[in-house]
């Protein structure tokens, strides 16, 4: 009986982490950039931090967008944690951390959604904070469309 209960309790953290939706964390942005360049698509980045309820709210829009097969060729979705020292490779192929890259890319507030090109340059105005929640998804869609148009206009 005790072993059975211990087995069930051991699975609880796994079930809880699976139940919490999230965006793919930025890890190898140089590889992402190469794929983006080939497909002429932008990256949607959520700058987030722990215990940010507005970041959680933003994810309720962004996670379904990221998982929608219709968006697979429109944009990559990534999350950069501004308060994390987790390692990543930046767009230039250099080792960095989430915190350092967020600072280099000019992110100051959470949640911020920025749409980037394959070199990590911002395409258009970032979406800072949780603007009118009823229109948030449309703001992101418009930002993706504008970024795709800007990329298509490049030689």
> Could you tell me the domains of the chain?
22-153 (3.40.30.10)
Beta carbons within 8 Å of 141's beta carbon, 6+ residues apart: 65
What pLDDT, on a 0 to 100 scale, did the predictor assign at position 11? Answer: 47
Measured distance CA(64)–CA(126) in Å, rounded: 20
Residue 25's DSSP bridge partners are 79
Q: Shortest CA distance to 80 belongs to which of 46, 112, 131?
A: 46
Q: Measured between alpha carbons, how far apart are the two ends of the chain, in Å? A: 68
Q: What is the pTM of this model?
A: 0.84
- Find the range with the poorest average confidence among 76-85, 97-106, 111-120, 123-132: 123-132
Say if residues 46 and 143 touch (Cβ distance below 8 Å): no
Residue 87 has pLDDT above 70, yes or no: yes
Measured distance CA(155)–CA(141) in Å, rounded: 24
Segment 105-127 shows an average pLDDT of 96
């Amino acid at each position: 009986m005790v072993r059975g209960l211990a087995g069930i309790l051991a699975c609880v953290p796994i079930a809880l982490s699976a139940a919490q939706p999230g965006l793919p964390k930025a890890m190898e942005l140089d590889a992402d950039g190469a794929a983006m360049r080939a497909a002429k698509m932008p990256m949607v980045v959520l700058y987030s931090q722990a215990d940010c309820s507005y970041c959680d709210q933003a994810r309720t829009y962004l996670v379904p967008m990221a998982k929608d097969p219709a968006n697979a060729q429109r944009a990559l979705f990534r999350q950069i944690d501004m308060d994390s020292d987790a390692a990543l490779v930046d767009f230039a192929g250099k080792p960095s951390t989430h915190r350092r890259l967020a600072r280099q890319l000019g992110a100051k507030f959470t949640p911020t959604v920025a749409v980037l090109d394959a070199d990590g340059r911002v395409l258009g105005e970032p979406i800072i904070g949780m603007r009118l929640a009823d229109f948030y998804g449309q703001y992101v869609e418009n930002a993706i469309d504008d970024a795709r148009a800007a990329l298509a206009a490049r030689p």
